[in-house]
């Protein structure tokens, strides 16, 4: 999902990413944090690198988690595919209550429930509590 470039840069800087010059980067600048690159427009980036999957971007050193966490949705309206990507991003993120809970990605019934909750507007804390309750049964 494309967002205004200047607002996107401001968001990156406010999120702790640092600007550096890079002739190959869009507009000659890139933004990095903990060795990972900020993504302004994930589809354009995948096209320019001739990649199909988000996981390929992760392997190339891009912060896919931050993209979906900060940029990947708008106005709380999320379809199931986007919800799944946002949940995955939270699990792969270092700053989420869902961080590192990879077992949730393997449990289809829990993941489906989390996706439905996300689409209804619930976010990480509720999703984590939901998963914990289902796992207790």
Give the pLDDT confidence of 82-110 residue by residue, as tens digits. Answer: 889 889 988 988 888 999 999 999 999 99
**CA 120 – CA 125 distance, rounded (Å):** 14
Count the helices and strands in the chain (H runs, E runs): 7, 3
Tell me the β-bridge partners of 37: 32, 62
**CA 65 – CA 72 distance, rounded (Å):** 9
From 115, 117, 119, 59, select the one nearest 92 (Cα to Cα).
59
Mean pLDDT (whole number) for 111-124: 87
User: Kind and range of the H or E element at 21?
Assistant: strand 18-21
pLDDT one-digit tens code per residue, 27-81: 889 999 999 999 988 888 999 999 999 889 999 999 988 887 776 544 455 678 8
Structure confidence at residue 3 (pLDDT): 59
pTM over cut 0.85? no
Domain ranges within the chain, ordered by starting residue: 1-72, 77-137
Structure confidence at residue 57 (pLDDT): 93
């Amino acid at each position: 999902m494309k967002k205004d470039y200047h607002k996107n840069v401001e968001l990156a800087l406010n999120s702790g990413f640092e600007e550096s010059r890079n002739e190959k980067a869009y507009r000659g600048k890139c933004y990095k944090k903990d060795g990972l690159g900020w993504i302004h427009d994930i589809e354009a980036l995948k096209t320019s690198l001739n990649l199909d999957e988000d996981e390929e971007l992760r392997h190339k050193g891009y912060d896919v988690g931050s993209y979906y966490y900060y940029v990947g949705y708008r106005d709380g309206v999320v379809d199931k595919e986007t919800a799944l990507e946002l949940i995955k991003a939270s699990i792969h993120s270092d700053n989420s209550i869902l961080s590192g809970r990879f077992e949730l990605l393997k449990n289809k019934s829990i993941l489906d429930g989390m996706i439905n909750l996300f689409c209804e507007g619930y976010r990480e804390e509720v999703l984590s509590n939901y998963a914990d309750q289902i796992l207790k049964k």
